[in-house]
Each structure stands twice: as structure tokens, then as C-alpha cells.
Amino acid sequence: MEKIINNFLQEVGQRNTNEPEFMQAVSEVAQTVIPYIVSNDIYHGKNILMRMTEPERVIMFRVPWIDDSGEIRVNRGHRIEMNSAIGPYKGGLRFHESVNLSILKFLAFEQVFKNALTTLPMGGGKGGADFNPKGKSDAELMRFCQSFMTELFRHIGPNRDIPAGDIGVGGREIGYMFGQYKRLKNEFTGVLTGKGISWGGSLIRPEATGYGAVYFAQNMLETRGASFEGKKAVISGSGNVAQYAAEKIIQLGAKVLTMSDSSGFIHDPEGINEEKLAFIMQLKNVNRQRIDKYVVQYPKASFYKGKKPWSVSCDIAMPCATQNELDSVDAKTLITNGCYCVSEGANMPSTPEAILNFHNYNVLYAPGKASNAGGVAVSGLEMAQNSLRYNWTRDEVDQRLQHIMKDIHQACVFYGKEKEGINYEKGANIAGFVKVADAMLAQGVV
């Protein structure tokens, strides 16, 4: 089996040189899915996983814009249209200086499995640009978003490809891009998700990824008769996903001890309560400042410059910042300090070695493609509401989100049950694969 997997990875690797994040994502899937394919005649010999590693289409384009000092700047935009077997391409846009083909292809590949897990009819895609939004004025951001959409608009559409937010792309950026799309097409359609409530957005979409990752953790904890009540949680990140993970954890009666950004993390031993979280939301979403300002406001907390929060003792860890932010040493530290539940809000935040440690020590570990699927799931619900030209209430969307997260958990249990417990990684990969593979088989070699 090892030989088959290695040969497969070697072939994919030859075609995708210098793409370490993409190969990491493919390898994680291959380790669990290839043994399943080999033991199931309907999938064996059809080269399905190889076909799934090849994007249906990769779009790369120039994004020129003019900064406030009048200088002409240029960035590179991308859209990876990975797989449309079960629905139109769907997935976020990331604006971050680190964006490259490898990162977007890993994200698009993960998205295919994640979207299949939501039970909604969405294929997988991802896009973005190597643009750093930090320190840019609102006017610069608008010009960048408009230039980005001036090319992207011809490739997307409500039945073709429906982008949304990701790192560096939130409500403000979606607004500017939607405005430009509408102007270019002279059409008001649900071409993007994460829209404002008064112009086609869904209630609970901003909260959905963070809430969903906590609901998934709740489902995992229940398998051991546990709950969030009275527990200690450590969160990384302080953006969209981290903020709403924190909000839900506080509501469920647990203590949130940490949050972070790329400058370091803050540790508040008394816990980040609702009032303190409101301060963080204002700091990050409105003032757009660094996390160390928290300790000026709340001096009993400490700021650890350039450090990650994994050394703080906790029951539950939620990495909600970025890929490969939690390595093998971090995993061992978490486990030694008593952590037994890890629910990923970010995409691929744990390295393969960290995941191995979680498995070896029987940690309840959920990979992002299962636990953070609530975001894209509510994007799917936003699309449904746009098609209906109707809005569901906050409670209706939240109920549907909870239901979807439960279904994803069940799918992981179904395909991931092992003697030692539930292997959520294996469960998520196989459940996602089966849905997409069945559709691909039915549609022929296309």
C-alpha cells in the first residue's frame, strides 16, 4: 500500500514542482483515500484521485492599481477552478502577501472535499492575490478590489463560480467587489457570498465558520460525554473565524484564554469575556490595529511577541489563523498540558507531524475540511436564499448550520471509525471523496 501511495505522490509531485502546501494537502488525502479506493472496485483503476488533483482550470491575471501617492502598483490575481462535479465552483478569495499558486491550490483542493461534506451542491475553488491589505487606505482597498474584479468578473457567475471571503477578505472587500461586478455585468445576482444583509447577504454568515467549528467540537466532546461548560480553550488568530469561535465558546460557558495575530499572542488568565471580545472586534475590524493593544486596555493580560499560544495549558485548542501554524512540538506541548480536543477553524493549520501526535495520543482531532465547513455551508445557504429571493431568520440559519455540522460529524464517524476511536481525518477525506467520485464516475471522463 505504501508503495502505491508513494508512486501516486511522486507522479503528482512531478507535475507540481515547488508546490509544498499543495503536495501536503494531497498527501494527507492520499494516505487515507488510496487504501479505500484499492479496496473498492467501483473506484479502483479509474484514476479518480489523480483527476481530482488536477484543477479543471487555473486563471492567473494582472491586477494593476494606483496607490494614494499616485504610484502604479501591480499584483497577481488567481482563481483556481478545481472541481465542478457536484456543483458550481465555490470557495473564498485570500488577499495576503504570501499568496501563491501552491497555497491557493491546496486551499482549492481542500475546498472540494469540504464542500462535498456540507451536503450542499457546491464544487470547489479558491482564489486571491499576493496583495497585503495592511496599512492600505480605504480608497486604496477599493481601487484594488475594483481592479481585481475587472478581470475576475468574466470567469465567475451565480451558476458558474461563486467566490467569498478568506484571509484579508471580509465584508468590506466583498462589498467593493460586488459593486464592481454589478456595474460591469449590469446584473444583481448572488455571485459572491458574505454580502451585507441589506444587499443579499445571509444572517449568521459572518459567524458561521467560528460557530461551526465550535459546534463540531461540541459533537466530538459528546462522544466522550463531555461539553464546553467550565473548560479552558486556547484560540489562535483574531480575525473573522477566531472572533466568532471565541464568541460561541464564551456562550457555552468555557473560558477563552488566548487570541493572536501575526505579531504574537495575548494570554488573559481571567478569560476573554464578552466585553473584552467586543474590544478585540473593534480593535481588529474597525481600528485595524495589532493585538498587543489588548494588554494596554486589560493590564492583567500578557502579550508574547512573535509567539504562538500553544504553550498555554488548556482542554480545547482551536487554531483559527493560517496553515502550518501548529507543529509537532506545539502538539506535544498541548498534549502534555492536558489538551484533548483540537478543532481546526483555519485550513490545514496543523502540520502532518502534529496530526500524527494527536492520533497517537487519542486527541479528538478535527481537520479543517470538516470542522470549518460551517462557513461555506452558510455560503451555500446564502446562495439558496438568493435563488429564493427570500431571507431566513437568524435562528433558522443557525439551526440549519447546527444540523449540517452534526451531519458532517456523523459522516466522519461513519467512514472514520477505528478500533482506537474515530479518525476524523480519514472519515472526512473518504466521505468527501465518495460524493465527488460518484458524481465524476456518473459524468464520464470530462
Q: Which residues are identified as catalytic?
A: 126
Q: Under a CB-based contact definition with an 8 Å cutoff, are residues 280 and 268 in contact? A: no
Residue from 75, 118, 180, 240 touching ligand NDP (CB under 6 A): that is: 240
Alpha carbons 110 and 356: distance in angstroms, whole number: 19
Segment contacting ligand NDP by CB under 6 A, of 23-31, 67-75, 162-170, 381-389? 162-170
Q: Of 190 and 427, which has the nearer Cβ to ligand 2IT?
A: 190
Q: Binding ligand NDP by CB under 6 A: which of 63, 80, 152, 321?
A: 321
Q: Grid coordinates standing for 147? A: 481592479
Under rule CB under 6 A, residue 193 binds ligand NDP: no
The DSSP code sequence of 372-399 is: THHHHHHHHHHHHHHHHT----HHHHHH
Q: According to the binding rule CB under 6 A, does residue 375 interact with ligand 2IT?
A: yes
Q: Which is nearer to ligand NDP, 241 or 434 (CB)?
A: 241
Region label for 135, one of left (φ > 0), alpha (ψ between -120 and 50) or beta (otherwise):
left
Q: Are 194 and 162 in contact (CB under 8 A)?
A: no
Footprint of ligand NDP on 208-227 (CB under 6 A): 209
351 binds ligand NDP (CB under 6 A): no
Note the Cα 446 to chain centre separation in Å.
28
Residues 375-394 that bind ligand NDP (CB under 6 A): 375
Residue 136 makes CB contacts below 8 A (sequence gap 6+) with 67, 144
| Selected range binding ligand 2IT among 229-237, 319-327, 371-379, 420-428, rule: CB under 6 A | 371-379
Residue 222 and residue 339: Cα distance in Å, rounded? 16
With the CA atoms of 389, 390, 396 and 400 taken in that order, what torsion angle do they form, in degrees rounded to the nearest 10?
-10
| CB 114 to ligand 2IT: min, Å | 6
| Burial class of 436 by CB neighbour count within 10 A (0 to 12, 13 to 18, 19+) | buried
Q: How far apart are CA 83 and CA 123, in angstroms?
A: 5
Quote the least distance from Cβ 163 to ligand 2IT, whole Å.
Answer: 7
In the complex, least distance from residue 296 CB atom to ligand NDP, rounded to whole angstroms? 17
Among ligand 2IT, ligand NDP, none, what does residue 324 contact (CB within 5–8 Å per kind)? none
157: Cβ–Cβ under 8 A, 6 or more apart, which residues?
88, 189, 191
The dihedrals phi and psi of 268, each to the nearest 5 degrees, come to -115, 100
Burial of 439 (0-12, 13-18, 19+ CB in 10 A): middle
Give 109 or 303: the residue with its C-beta nearer to ligand 2IT.
109
Question: Would you say 100 or 262 has its CB closer to ligand NDP?
Answer: 262
Q: Does 376 bind ligand 2IT (CB under 6 A)?
A: yes
Beta bridge partners of 126: 80
Which 8-state DSSP code applies to residue 154?
A: G
Give least dist CB 72 to ligand NDP, A.
Answer: 26
Three-class secondary structure of residue 162 per DSSP: strand
Residues 307-346 close enough to bind ligand 2IT by CB under 6 A: none
Q: How far is the CB of 111 from ligand 2IT (least distance, A)?
A: 6
Q: How far is CA 324 from CA 24, 41, 99, 103, in A?
A: 10, 35, 14, 11
- Quick one: which of 33, 142, 167, 217 contacts ligand NDP (CB under 6 A)? 167
Shortest gap between Cβ of 117 and ligand NDP (angstroms)? Answer: 12
Binding residues among 76-135 for ligand 2IT as defined by CB under 6 A: 90-92, 111, 114
Considering the complex, what minimum distance in angstroms separates the CB of residue 248 from ligand 2IT? Answer: 17
145 binds, among ligand 2IT, ligand NDP, none (CB under 5 to 8 A by kind): none
Grid cell at residue 19: 508546490
Residue with cell 484514476: 47
Residue 405: half-sphere exposure toward Cβ, Cα within 13 Å: 29
Q: Least Å distance between CB 210 and ligand 2IT? A: 12
x/- mask, ligand 2IT, residues 163-202, rule CB under 6 A, reads -x-x--------------------------x---------
Q: How many beta carbons lie within 10 A of that of residue 31, not counting itself? A: 17
Q: Are 212 and 374 in contact, with CB atoms under 8 Å apart? A: yes
262, 302, 337, 402: residue in contact with ligand NDP (rule CB under 6 A): 262
Would you tell me which residues interact with ligand NDP (CB under 6 A)? 165-168, 170, 209, 237-242, 261-263, 320-322, 345-347, 372, 375
Would you tell me which residues interact with ligand 2IT (CB under 6 A)? 90-92, 111, 114, 164, 166, 193, 347, 375-376, 379
